Amino acid sequence: MAQSSQFSRKILCIGAGYVGGPTMAAIAAKCPQYKVTVVDINPERIAAWNSDELPIFEPGLLDVVKIARGRNLFFSTEIDTAIEEAEVIFVSVNTPTKTFGAGAGKAADLQYWEKTARNIVRVSTTDKIIVEKSTLPVRTARAMERILNANDKGIHFEVLSNPEFLAEGTAMEDLDHPDRVLIGAPETESGKKAQDVLVEIYANWIPRERILTSNVWSSELSKLTANAFLAQRISSINSISALCEKTEANVNEVARAIGMDGRIGNRFLKASVGFGGSCFKKDILNLVYICEKYGLTEVAQYWENVVAINDYQKQRFVETMLRVMFNTIAGKKIALFGFAFKADTGDTRESPSIDVTRHLLEERAQVVISDPEAIPNAKKDLADCETEVTYMEDPYTAAEGAHAIAVMTEWDLYKNLDYDRIFDKMEKPAFIFDGRNILDHQKLYEIGFNVFPLGTMALKHF
């Protein structure tokens, strides 16, 4: 391409998903001197990236895309051409849990990553730096390096690990001001040189002291560990929420008291119906699998329990609903407020709402799903339950004639609804199950609701 000569570097990202799209948009917006191309095998996704209806909902993303798109940010399906011209290739394809064969249900499925690596070898004619952006099992870079460097073209590939720590819902802010950027490289001369190139890219907007360098294995393992620790905090406070409900302790008060301990810290201590998202469960299970492979049974069991508590919390939420609604919810209408796995995203992967809906359907409840961004994804998740579930974006309509509301996502919108109006149109006795502890429980109780928060005593009229 004639115009490409004006750029000082050519960067490519393979995989235009929740990570590849926002990350590359941020790099392109910050660094107009680089040409940044994002490719994907999914043409609809690429078409959406080239429109104003982006394929993912992320606050602030469209503005950043608009700064750079067509200037130095390009979304394309021309994967081979893009590989050939790039010097630095980020690989941000999906790495889901394996569903078949050895390690099914735990190990990471690396087929997309490996296909990408083989494609890179096939097309390349010059040396390249390959950056693992996807979350991968520790020591994957070794396998990738073997595949990449087993070429007879005399081309050298340097494989670096640069895991992404952004959180959906705050991705643009996280990319703007990351707590840290981690770059793992082989401890060789060429490894160090490649690491310097990546450091230089990030140093365009990130203070040097926040750019950490390490060996490749520490970098790969740090990402799995970060997700395991974050999920562990949620499961820890959720396990205590169950005890609070039995003892008249209040989980919010407990969380505040322990969170003020500087050694513990106050973040990620909010009791909820459970964690979701595409990463926590898959990354912990991947860690569990790796520990098992190394014969570290106790370590594997320790981390597996973080996932077990999460399943328990979702189950417990539905069991409470069933118990307090007179042991039957068959035929009762239950409105879910929120389906996304957290606020400010339309992503529903591993959302607790999926399991909760399925448990409710097992009890033959009628489920109405409401969410400002996630309904299209919810419909895909529950495609097999088309006749039993209805969708209403408007929460007021969703709650009409309902016996209960279950708050599943902490969208601000649900904090400020006119609950008097909602109560009037519901079946009585009316119930609210606050799976995110975001509502004013006392006020709801005064309106007439029977209120069931998580980890604090219920407020009920009977």
- Please compute Rg for the chain using Cα positions: 24
Q: How far is the CB of 179 from ligand NAD (least distance, A)?
A: 13
291 is a catalytic site residue: no
**Cis? peptide before 429, omega within 30° of 0:** yes
CA distance 307 to 454: 19
Burial class (CB within 10 angstroms; exposed 0-12, middle 13-18, buried 19+) of 73: buried
Q: How far is the CB of 38 from ligand NAD (least distance, A)?
A: 9
SS3 for 275? coil
Minimum CB distance to ligand NAD smaller for 82 or for 399: 82
Minimum CB distance to ligand NAD smaller for 18 or for 431: 18
CA distance 461 to 167: 40
Burial class (CB within 10 angstroms; exposed 0-12, middle 13-18, buried 19+) of 312: middle
Catalytic-role residue among 13, 279, 291, 385: 279
SS3 for 98? coil
Q: How far is the CB of 115 from ligand NAD (least distance, A)?
A: 5
Would the CA dihedral through 269, 22, 128, 46 be positive or negative?
A: positive
Q: Which residue has the closest beta carbon to ligand NAD? A: 17
For 181-202, the three-class secondary structure string (H helix, E strand, C coil) is EEEEECCCHHHHHHHHHHHHHH
Minimum CB distance to ligand NAD smaller for 177 or for 428: 177
Q: How far is the CB of 185 from ligand NAD (least distance, A)?
A: 19
Minimum CB distance to ligand NAD smaller for 167 or for 324: 167
List CB contacts of 99: < 8 A, sequence separation 6 or more.
105, 109
The dihedral over CA atoms of 191, 192, 195, 196, expressed in degrees to the nearest 10, equals: -140
Dmax (CA) for the chain in angstroms is 78
Nearest to 390 by CA among 39, 7, 399: 399
CB 436 within 8 A of CB 408: yes
Minimum CB distance to ligand NAD smaller for 168 or for 355: 168
Q: How far is the CB of 175 from ligand NAD (least distance, A)?
A: 11
Q: How far is the CB of 300 from ligand NAD (least distance, A)?
A: 20
CB 158 within 8 A of CB 117: no
SS3 for 337? strand
What are the strands, taking DSSP E only, across 245-401?
Answer: 333-337, 366-370, 389-391
Minimum CB distance to ligand NAD smaller for 160 or for 251: 160
CA distance 97 to 281: 9
Binding-site ranges for ligand NAD (CB under 6 A): 14-20, 39-42, 45, 79, 92-95, 112, 115-116, 134-135, 164, 166, 168, 278-279
Minimum CB distance to ligand NAD smaller for 170 or for 320: 170
Q: How far is the CB of 308 from ligand NAD (least distance, A)?
A: 21
From residue 338, alpha-carbon distances to 122, 236, 437, 444 in Å are 45, 23, 13, 18
Q: How far is the CB of 8 from ligand NAD (least distance, A)?
A: 25
Q: What is the DSSP pairing of strand 181-185 with strand 211-215?
A: parallel
Minimum CB distance to ligand NAD smaller for 202 or for 433: 202
Which residues are catalytic, by number?
A: 279
